[in-house]
Structure 1
Amino acid sequence: MIHLTESAAQHVANFITSRGKGEGIRLGVKTSGCSGLAYVLEFVDEANPHDTVFENHGVKVFVDPKSLVYLDGLEMDYVKNGLNEGFEFNNPNQKGECGCGESFTV
């Protein structure tokens, strides 16, 4: 299960609307950084039949089978702290992260 908070879903929905097209977003992982894995977000214009699809607050999140192993149970939020804003990932599978926060381990 992948969960988007209402704030994250609204932010994604606004991007899709301003973009003018899209089925939702794809959430995945890639090998990166000093800890091993990094989150990847991209728009989905055409669904992949192998993806698992989750829907939260009217927004679809597509996850490929290989990434789902690392992301199952994840909550994605969109937060603003002072001048900084962006997505935050609360991943119960994450065991650690690098000092800069760019990558994580499971």
Structure 2
Amino acid sequence: MSFTITPKAERFMRMMVMADGGPGAGFRLSVSPGGCSGLAAEIAIKAEPEPGDKVFPHGAVKLFLPAESRLLLEGVTIDFAETPTSTGLVFHDPKQKSCSSHAG
């Protein structure tokens, strides 16, 4: 499985785990189709992976990914963005078309 986590996204994940988790806790990222980037995410800080999750150590963060997330994140870059309207993880998927609407 191949995906990229930017340093900003890793720092965000690490801070979330430090704030909400105990020793050994991980960052669970559950991704589903949807949203402008083609992906919508639910995040949670968990003491341990849920059944079916795989653990991906990344720097100081343990990422817990369910099966569907592992498929959807293939080739994706996970970034962190702060804008006036939103703050959170952003997914850059080279396979996904942009959000601009085209009449078909």
1:3 aligns with 2:4: yes
Runs of 4+ displaced beyond 6 Å: none
Map of 1:87 onto structure 2? 89
1:73 aligns with 2:75: yes
| Structure 1, 89-98 or 55-64: larger mean CA deviation | 89-98
SS in 1 for 2:48: coil
Residues in 2 aligned to 1:37 and 1:79: alpha-carbon distance in whole angstroms: 15
Residues in 1 aligned to 2:62 and 2:95: alpha-carbon distance in whole angstroms: 22
Residues in 2 aligned to 1:67 and 1:32: alpha-carbon distance in whole angstroms: 13
Normalised TM-score (structure 1): 0.67
Residues in 1 aligned to 2:40 and 2:73: alpha-carbon distance in whole angstroms: 11
CA contact (8 A) 1:28 1:64 kept: yes
Map of 1:41 onto structure 2? 43
Q: Percent identity?
A: 30
1:28 to 30, 34, 43: 30
1:3 shift after superposition? 2.4
1:13 aligns with 2:7: no
Residues in 2 aligned to 1:23 and 1:98: alpha-carbon distance in whole angstroms: 39
SS in 2 for 1:17: helix
Size of the aligned set, in residue pairs, is 99
Q: Gaps (5+ residues) in structure 1?
A: 100-106
1:59 shift after superposition? 0.9
Cα distance change on mapping 1:6 and 1:40 into 2, 3 Å: same
1:83 shift after superposition? 7.4
Normalised TM-score (structure 2): 0.68
